[in-house]
Chains A and B, each alone.
Chain A
Amino acid sequence: MIFQQIIWQIFHKLKEERTISAPFHLLRGKRSGQTIQDVGIFHLHQYFGILPKLSRKKYDEEINKLIEQNFITVFENGDYTLANNFISDNLLPFDGWHYRGNEHLFFARLSLIVQSLSHKEAGVMAFIPIQKDPQVQKWVRNFLISNEYQGGTLQQQLLNEILISLEQAEADTIVKEVLIKRLAGYKIPGYTWQQLSIYENKDEMDIQLLYISCLHTWLNIITLNEKDFPLLHKIAEDIRIHIPLSDSAFQTAQLFKEGHSLENISQYRRLKMSTIEDHIVELAMNDPHFSINQFISNEEMEQVLTAVEDYDTRKLKVLREILPHLSYFQIRLVLARGDTTSAT
């Protein structure tokens, strides 16, 4: 049910202007120009990449449920319309744009640390690590050594940090319980998704979404408060994405900031001009200090924003027909900026 609400919410934000597959790519965090730009144009940052492993089969199943319940009607060409009777309040908070699946790495580190400290506390120094990824194991080993886990105070410090920070996270108690039930320790096994789903009487997918949402909320508290939560902050190292540009867009941005023209960059990087433009749009979306005035005047920007409002559309093709003197690139830049531009 939660999952269906999220899909419906994405469709709703996309204003019926994209195909039935658009939410799928968004949820998986597809790094294509189209998906990334949609994030900016339709303000979908929160849902970007929250389910990197979502299968097409599962997605189609959920779409079919939405269709069966008449919340959505799909036409043969992939277009769709929404019924207005599926209003979901209390939407779960996500911050997909800044985590993109990295929250699982945070939790993997945390769970191995908790398992280690739990055994340490019980005086059992040999155990089978619950996390098999050698990088996670190496990271945790370094963490434990540099925090002098032998001293015996680390577990109490970590416990205090978890108790205080998780208390602050705005999430249902049940969800916090789910989160902590995914941890295990000496003679305390964790619970599987199937078990949690049956005990809480929710779909497995919904339980996982609750868990991801709670992790995002919690991580936002942790990453903003290094002073209060130094250990958790360390465990969340490199988890939050600070420059959310794709690698390639980042390279283009560097060259552009060094003063190269788009044409030069295109030649130098041997990429199509349209690709370079995609990168600039991505940059405009992510960097509020990046001025788009070098490509489009304030007056023209106003024209685009007015057209969006008057015709109630964000379809590029339609906007281009209304404003034939502007290029697609210029229109996309304005859309990428969205409301933030008009506010300044």
Chain B
Amino acid sequence: MQLESILQQRFGYSSFRSGQKEVIEQILNGKDVIALLPTGMGKSLCYQLPGYVLNKTVLVISPLLSLMQDQVDQMKLFGEKRVIALNSFLNKEEKNRVINGLEQYRFIFISPEMLAQRQVQQKLNRIELSLIVVDEAHCISQWGFDFRPDYLRIGEMFGTSRSPILALTATATNKVLEDIELYLNMKEPFKYIHSVDRPNIHLSKMSFSNREEKLEWLFQHVSNTAGPGIIYTQSRSKTHSISETLLQNGISAASYHGGMDLLDRQFIQQQFIEGTLDWIVATNAFGMGIHKQDVRQIIHESIPSNMANYMQEIGRAGRDGNDAVAILLYSEHDEELAKFVGIDDLPLEQHVDIFEEYQRNGQDATQMLKQGEISETAFRVLNYWMEQKTPNEVKTIFQNMKIEKMQKVEEVMKLITSDTCMRETLVHYFGQTLNDKPEQCCINCGLDLAQLLIAKEEKNLSSFSMTWQERITNLLTKKS
């Protein structure tokens, strides 16, 4: 069957977006594929469509619980029933039931950690997979070494005679692409590399001598210009304080971070999509999988910890293709905090010594976790590397990671300090060249924010003052 007709029948689109067809054809030919497609370019179609052609199970390895859940919800929404997320929402009983009947699903979403479990491995070995997808594959490089080592194990888990792997990402440097190929044990993969540039996102920046001035500007700016927008900041507590100040100034805002009540996160998403909420104040954990097409502004109150994160975060603006603005704010010494946050969770030299000490005494090293001598993340990472290398090598590895993380902050600093084109700097960072500059490219090329942004309109928040009787009646009866 023609791919176009399946596209039309299954998904209701009349034509492919750029890259989709090339990627799908290679997959159907049984080749490993690495695809770099910018956010909003329909990455998930690249594995969904083959799922219907090949008619065997597609396994999708996905980094975040919320992202996984979101993808499953989306697919169910469009009528696919044979889809499951194997994650911690399932209790033990359900998990066993799902694993036992795993072959009946067309799409299985799973985290690398769950994938590493023996029970899951054994079952998967007995199922014929048509395709293994590693979604957000830059996580291998971004998280594998210092945060979630199971990412580095994906390749070895499937052995040599495996189904083709599709690695999908929106942001990857050449180094990251190499890591993906190496750690997934890919065989001469076909690479589809789309330009990372998003011409409809216009780039700006502002520098201040202290944090107070920066916040003052932020509040002014948000009071005067229209959203919808996302403000990125470093910590959960900052998301709270900034959103509270905005709310007190009559701006519809809410904080959003990983530590929130699950129901609250959905309320925020729904409010944002319905348009009752104008601004979300988020930590970086936010956003993979938010489906708002018309985000007009992304403001970084704190500088991001690396260029890849910055690209991901601004990529959430302007998915509808219309103009959007990304503003990077900086006040003096911000980079120091960014560096500190970046290395805060890395294991220290002394942790390596303690780990060794436990092992030498024939004790289980998890003791150090129970004794509160190390954070959970740091222990996971330490444990992985201690399995692979000698203690001294491990110390060197952590030392290098620390240096590397600090360098990555310095790279972001170049965006702040340099007066070369911001878009060019970004695109070059990913090892690509910029062919065309859009009008109003960036502040260094000349940019008039006033032309791109519209003034804020007064909003009526009348729905909040409804009585409870009115609200429940509205919820349950047809609106006339």
Contacts and interface: CB of A to CB of B under 8 A. Distances in A.
B89 A132 contact: yes
Interface in A158-207: 158-159, 162-163, 166, 173, 176-177, 179-185, 187-195, 198-199
Contact of A194 (B78, B89, B264): B264
B244 A198 contact: yes
B472 A162 contact: yes
Contact of B274 (A126, A158, A187): A187
A121 interface: yes
A132 B267 CA distance: 13
A158 to B, nearest CB: 6
Interface string A99-134: 000000000000100100110011000111111111
A135 interface: yes
A75 B334 CA distance: 42
By size class, the interface of chain B is 35 or more
B254 A159 contact: no
Nearest to B256: A192
A155 interface: yes
Contact of A195 (B248, B254, B468, B476): B254
B90 A134 contact: yes
Contact of B476 (A131, A158, A194): A158
Contacts of B267: 184, 189-192
Interface in B261-303: 261-264, 266-268, 270-271, 274, 276-277
Contacts of B463: 188
A84 interface: no
Interface in B461-480: 463-464, 467-469, 471-479
A198 B274 CA distance: 21
Contacts of B263: 111, 130-131, 182, 190
A18 B472 CA distance: 44
B474 A188 contact: yes
By size class, the interface of chain A is 35 or more
A163 B472 contact: yes
A159 B473 contact: yes
Contacts of A184: 266-267, 270, 475
Nearest to A137: B89
B69 interface: yes
A194 B468 contact: no
A180 B472 contact: yes
B475 A118 contact: yes
Contacts of A179: 468
Given A134-B89, A192-B268, A194-B243, A156 B274 contact: no
Contact of A192 (B254, B473, B477, B478): B254
A195 B272 CA distance: 14
Contacts of A180: 468, 471-472, 475
B286 to A, nearest CB: 14
Interface in B231-249: 240, 243-244, 247-248
A260 to B, nearest CB: 33
Given A190-B263, A192-B254, A194-B243, A156 B477 contact: yes
Given A128-B73, A132-B89, A194 B266 contact: no
CB-CB nearest 7 A-B residue pairs: A189-B270, A192-B264, A180-B468, A185-B475, A190-B267, A189-B271, A159-B476
13 contacts: A114-B472, A118-B475, A132-B69, A156-B477, A159-B473, A162-B476, A184-B475, A189-B274, A190-B263, A191-B464, A192-B260, A192-B267, A199-B464
